[in-house]
Chain A
Amino acid sequence: MTDAIHPPALRVTDDMACPSGDWTLIALTPRMASLRRALADAGATRWDLSELTRLDSFGALLLWRAWGHRRPDQLMLPPAFDAQFARLDALGDAPVPPHPRFGPLDALAALGVAALSLVQHVGDFLALIGRLALDGLRLLTQPRQWPIKEFSANLFKVGVKAMPVSALVGFLIGVVLSYLSALQLKAFGADIFIVNILGLGVIRELGPVLVSVLVAGRSGSAMTAQLGVMRVTEEVDALSVMGISRYVRLVLPKVMALSVAMPLLVLWTSAVALLGGMMSAELQLGLSYGFFIETLPKVVPPANLFIALGKGAVFGFLIALVACHFGLRVKPNTESLSANTTASVVSSITLVILVDAVFAIATRSIGVPV
Chain B
Amino acid sequence: MAEKVEIPVQKWSGRVREVTFGATKDEGGSRSRTVTVGGEATLPFLHFEGEIPHPPRVAIEIQDKKPEEWSPLLIKVWEEVIDDPAAWAKRAEERGADLILLRLSLDDAQGEENTPEKAKSAVRKVLSATSLPLLVFGPGQVDKDNELLVAVAEEAAGERVVLGVCEEKNYRTIVAAALAHGHLVDSRTPMDVNLAKQLIILIHDMGLPLDRILMDPSTGALGYGIEYGYSVMERLRLAALQGDTMTQQPILVTPGEEAWRAKEAKVGEGVPEAWGDWEERAIMWETMTSTALIEAGADVVVMRHPESVRLVKEAIDKLWMKEG
Task: Answer whether A and B are interacting partners.
Answer: no
A residues whose Cβ falls under 8 Å from a Cβ of B: none
B residues whose Cβ falls under 8 Å from a Cβ of A: none
